[in-house]
Amino acid sequence: MHAYALLLVACCCLAWGLYASLAALRPDSNIQIKFAAGEALTRRFEIACYLAEEARSLGVDAEVVETKSFQDSIQQVIDGKVDMALVSSGLPFENSNDIRVLAGLNVEPLHILVRQEFADSGLPLVDALKGKRFCSGEVGTCEQLLVADLLDFLRATPTDGLGRSYYTSVTMNNKELIQRAEQAQHLTGESRQEKLRELPDLIGVVASLPSRITQTLLDTNEYRLLPLTYANAYLMDNLQSASLKGKGIERLYIEKAAIPAATYFGKFPIPIADCQSIGMRTLVVSRADLPPAVVSRMMQCLFEGDFSRRIPPRGPHEMLSPYAPHAASVAYFERNKPLITGKLFDLAGKALSIFGAFSAGVLTLYGFLRRHRARRPQEYLEEIRYVDLLASGQRQDSEAPSTPKEFASYLDNRLLKLKEQLIHDYCNKRVQGEMVLMSILSMLADSRSQLRRSFGQLSDYQSSVMESPDRAPNIPRRRAA
């Protein structure tokens, strides 16, 4: 029977080893996903295309999908139209509980472009706004949401306290801005000036560096980058009410950013020095139910390929994010985590402390119960002494028989039962020590021998009395009950 059981176990192990070998040698099948990345003319879209190209080498056929805005990208992920998306951190969106973050990429700074004459005046943004046309993109875009929150912080509203116009808000998408800027570049004279007048006086653009939209506007030689003087003050004012969560920009996730000197081309390098600003980190997000196999391959592409050397990514544990990390992304970072860590030692120490305290309590209770259950040698000795007193007639027992022969048998049975009880208690560890056992057994044997001798003489005496009444040995008699 045991041989058949071992044979069955061996066959199961061989079958499992064969299956594991075939699974390891089998090539990975291609996985198809859709990747939302905003407008096609943005730097973010280029990053998504490069990422998709690298993902194909890992068996992931990623199709990059153009979307209109941040809200459009998130909504398509929630609706299941796309599997992943590149979005900005800190933007509000309701019902985003099914969104998970995989990694963080670069910070996209806010570019504030103003006409050259305003830039030369050295006025801050609030003063440069007066009576001007300001474009921050279409409603729902990251530019529009961030600029609206920034202007609210700067106490700049479209109308002043007297109802007079402070600045005029202009809505243009990136395609319109690029189209008009490119048209102005190919015109001269009055036609060029007329086309330039169609462009806003101030423009806010949130984009990865270098931004194609920003470069196109700078190529008109009409705009300059304006530093954001109140960047630090804006970032420090991040104690927003929890009741406003999901209804506006969450400043906790907005980061300090800078546009490095000479990032853009012009008559001279633009900007001349680092341009202080604020920015929003690009996040790689997905649906919560995206299979772990897909997430694992995308994490390899983000953190192990050429992409990581061009745009250093950050793990979910290295940054603040409004979304919970995907379980597979957490598993990716924990795959090389040592099995024995300081945390493990702490847990082991706590476990041993609890176990030690519990064991001490159990052992103490066991010792108490054992001592309570154990029988003292005095109990057996008291019984032997009592039997000896009965035999000598110094004690009386109402249950003992009256005839000497039956009385002797009664006492011998008591000693015999005591011997059996002693051996039973010793086997059950209620009596400790071999020397104690031997001593009590020796005393029992002496008592039984003495009992036999005494009542043997008594029997001989009775016989001799019957034959000759004058013969009577000096043997103790049992008192009548």
Q: Using one digit for the tens of pLDDT, what is the confidence trace for 205-223? A: 999 889 999 999 999 999 9
What is the average per-residue pLDDT within 274-290?
A: 92
What pLDDT, on a 0 to 100 scale, did the predictor assign at position 24? 47
Tens digits of residue pLDDT in 49-65:
999 988 888 888 889 99
- What's the residue count for the chain? 481
Of 135, 202, 148, residue with least CA distance to 174: 135
Tens digits of residue pLDDT in 229-255:
888 888 888 776 444 455 567 888 889
What mean pLDDT, rounded, does the chain reach?
80
Q: In the chain, where are the structural domains located?
A: 70-337, 374-467
Instruction: Report helix, strand or coil for 338.
Output: coil
- Long-range contacts, stretch 44-50, CB < 8 angstroms, 24+ apart: 44/86, 44/108, 44/207, 44/208, 44/282, 47/86, 47/105, 47/106, 47/208, 47/282, 47/311, 48/86, 50/307, 50/310
Q: Which residue has the higher pLDDT, 75 or 22?
A: 75
- Global pTM value: 0.64
The pair of three-digit structure tokens given for residue 400, joined into one six-digit string = 């003992």
Tens digits of residue pLDDT in 309-324:
888 899 988 888 888 8
Band of residue 479 on the pLDDT scale cut at 50, 70, 90: very low
- Least confidently predicted of 24-33, 123-132, 386-395: 24-33
Say if CB 201 and CB 133 are below 8 A apart: yes
Which residue shows structure tokens 């409603």?
Answer: 139
What pLDDT, on a 0 to 100 scale, did the predictor assign at position 335? 77
Say if CB 134 and CB 223 are below 8 A apart: no
Phi and psi angles of residue 340, each rounded to the nearest 5 degrees, phi first? -105, 110
- What CATH topology corresponds to 70-337? D-Maltodextrin-Binding Protein; domain 2 (3.40.190)
Percent of the chain with pLDDT over 90: 16
What pLDDT, on a 0 to 100 scale, did the predictor assign at position 4? 66
What is the average per-residue pLDDT within 365-385?
A: 73
Most confident by average pLDDT, 166-170, 228-232, 477-481: 228-232
Rounded to whole angstroms, the Cα distance separating 119 from 126 reads 13
Instruction: Report helix, strand or coil for 306.
Output: helix
Q: Is the pLDDT of residue 68 over 90?
A: no
Most confident by average pLDDT, 143-157, 289-303, 391-405: 289-303
Q: How many degrees, rounded to 5, is the angle at CA 249 between CA 155 and CA 113?
A: 60
Q: Which residue has the higher pLDDT, 429 or 265?
A: 265
